[in-house]
Amino acid sequence: MKAKLPPGPRLPTLAQSILLRFYWPRFVAACERRYGKAFTLKVTSLGPVVFLADPQDIKEVFTGDQSSYRAGEANAVLRGLLGDNSLLVLDGDAHRDWRRLLSIGLGRDAVARHADMIREVTAANVCSWPLDREFPVARRLEQITLEVILRAVIGATNPARLTELREVIPRILNMHPFATLAVAYPGLRRRLPWRAVSRDFELLDRILLAEIADCRADPDLDARTDALAILVRTAPGNMRGQSITDAELRDQLMTLLVAGHDTTGAALSWTLERLVRNPTVLEEARRAAQHSAAGDPSGDDYLDGLLKESLRIRPVVFNVARVIHRPIELAGYSLPAGITVAPGIGLVHACPELCP
């Protein structure tokens, strides 16, 4: 067993970080071709990061002893955006409890109850798209996914709050790189250049806390189907009998708002990008949609396969990260505690041996 990290580029850390920032998929794919299924990159603020492209190694990270692989610690930079209680920055029992609870509010049955609403929101938005001219579709699809999230997750119905949410969330998610420094370092929000960022977060917090208060006081809480209501109703029985605070609910709502609508909008955008570049598939997709609308399950099967293939070749999340908490043997190397490992989802999806 080799007692050293996998090989990797000899470029300075700053140079590697810049390449990752601007050319992430191409740079990482080039490293895989040169160094193999496990290679090490040096990343500013993270140190050495071991990228994994072999499915068996990745399976070990996801199914091995999770006390050794800390996802929340690897996502610590997201605390300034999502909050200290977000599922994405938690590890151990707290992560397991919240994951179990959120799966109740966002499970298949819970989502199915919103199917009519999703169709209505989508149809209303698509009807406003211009005809016979090109236009950027990503923002339109993000509007659809945000509206669905606002209704299905928060159950938001207050017109004034909905208007404010539709405006403030895109501002937060599309900040200028300079403004994002106030996300990584929240203390900067007190300084003049980042005051606008602070005002946006304060507005979003005020709206979410108001929605939480209304939900807790709603006499029809038991009849509501949104995820927030389900969390409020079911939390005491699923969090070892402990009540959940407004701050915890706020952070989970932020997680669902940010991680839910942005990723879904990106996935839909890439699917349309692939379709317009493949006219034969686009025409087959049109026929499949017609069959699906007529109740023919073959149409559903084709569209399901189409979406999965789009996600394979245009993964929304190219890789994830875990911080190792004890020395482990992985990918033929003895990795020390404190090292970050990054399962390369995009690398696996692009492997011709696995996906001819």
Best CA proximity match to 256, nearest among 91, 21, 85: 85
Task: Print pLDDT tens along the chain (356 aa).
Answer: 555 899 999 999 999 999 998 999 999 999 999 999 999 999 988 899 999 999 999 999 999 888 899 999 999 989 999 999 999 999 998 999 899 888 888 888 888 899 999 999 999 999 999 999 999 999 999 999 999 999 999 998 888 999 999 999 999 988 888 898 998 889 999 999 999 999 999 999 999 999 999 999 999 999 999 999 999 988 766 666 677 899 999 999 999 888 888 899 999 999 999 999 999 999 999 999 999 999 999 999 999 999 999 999 999 999 999 999 999 999 999 999 999 999 999 999 999 999 88
pTM above 0.75, yes or no: yes
Residue with tokens 């407004």: 246
Give the pair of three-digit tokens for residue 316.
Answer: 């929304």
The separation between CA 137 and the C-alpha centre of its own chain, rounded to angstroms, equals 20
Sequence-distant (6+) residues with CB within 8 A of 268 are 141, 144, 145
Long-range contacts: 198-202, Cβ < 8 Å, 24+?
A: 200/168, 200/171, 200/172, 201/172
Say what angle helices 246-276 and 159-173 make with each other, to 10 degrees: 70
**Quick one: pLDDT at residue 208?**
95
Measured CA to CA, the distance from residue 280 to residue 306 in angstroms comes to 12
Sorted by sequence, the CB contacts under 8 Å of residue 311 that are 6+ apart come out as 267
**Cβ atoms of 82 and 247 closer than 8 Å:** no
Helices (H), 152-278: 159-173, 181-184, 195-217, 227-238, 246-276
Tokens 């692009």 appear where? 350
List the beta bridge partners of residue 42. 48
Between CA 140 and CA 205 the distance in angstroms is 25
Q: What angle separates helix 246-276 from helix 138-149, to the nearest 10 degrees? A: 150
Q: What is the pLDDT of residue 215?
A: 94
H helices of 55-158, in order, are: 55-63, 71-74, 79-82, 92-105, 108-112, 115-126, 138-149
Please tell me the predicted confidence (pLDDT) of residue 174: 87
At CA 118, angle to CA 113 and CA 122, rounded to 5?
170
pLDDT attached to residue 214: 94
Q: What is the CA 47 to chain-centroid distance, rounded? A: 23
Q: Which of 269, 340, 354 is nearest to 41 (CA)?
A: 340
Structural domains in the chain, sorted by start: 1-75+321-356 (no CATH), 92-251 (1.10.630.10)
The reported pLDDT for the residue numbered 105 is 83
At residue 99, what is the residue type?
A: R
Which pLDDT value is given to residue 4? 85
